[in-house]
Structure 1
């Protein structure tokens, strides 16, 4: 019994309930940081940054714990903006340092990737929102089904207890009635025995009187 309960508690403690919120955000940051390093090394913002960002956001939104879905999705766009702007700044740093017309062009180069990559950011964000909405709906449906099962189980338990109480009360009433009947029957037997014993005594007295009369 104790071994079974211990295994049950161990199974309940090892159940995966979702990735912690901080870990999910950290994974998204790490993916963007890695993509930014690749972009700086390559000299342009290409598909590695976008692929790492999309994969990280989709995966973390899918496996994060339900309470962290909103924060995971909400922090993804700001992290992406910071990563793209940082890469653009690092790639245009030399031009920004010279000043003049080239400096203004470099400033545009810092902001331009955001405009160019906005469709990707929007698509990934909408996909994460859709995944989060579906997960929340499924979790709500599961909780409703669980609540319904628990309510039905409590109703069955209450009904079983009520029936048990009724049967116990009826059994006690039957036992009481049987005991009363036994007492009545015992009293009747005792009364009949007393009457029979008294009748036998009077018969013996009459017999003795008759014997005495015949003897005289």
Structure 2
């Protein structure tokens, strides 16, 4: 696809070429053209995957939290535009509206939570037993009270029969908690659902990255 298909906005502005710019606010103007992104991802995809891996925390055998960032969400949006070959403004804005809310905004961490069971009958059984599990996820900063997740703010992802295998969580911190995290306090991730009691210390590498999300 040639440069003439660079994504644009009214007034003659075009999306930035050749670099993924972190601006704190994802807009169409700050995304790359399809052509520029295709070139960029060949060089930088491994870096984004490493960034994502650093921010992934496993809780027990079946729950994983991917803590999102502007980098992971810009990558997700650009990937969707690339895969779907979206270059019209309405489609671009739709992808931004779907994923930009998952960028942390200085007082919180935001995460994609995934529940995984390889055996299908077991997965069906456990998703039925784990109704409400997303609301029992917590982060505990050393010396402070637990912060429970605010889950699925865009739409409800469970029914009366089962919970979803994917949830979106927000952990909101007080100024004192944020200061403690930035100062190096230990942080625990946990769940106190009756059928999935678990907790884990957030690894140092992940915590160093996550501390950067907090203003």
TM range (shorter): under 0.3
Structure with a larger share of its residues in strand: 2
Name which one, 1 or 2, has greater alpha-carbon Rg.
Answer: 1
Select the structure with the greater relative contact order (CA < 8 A; seq sep ≥ 6). Answer: 2
Q: TM-score, length-normalised on structure 2?
A: 0.24
Q: TM-score, length-normalised on structure 1?
A: 0.24
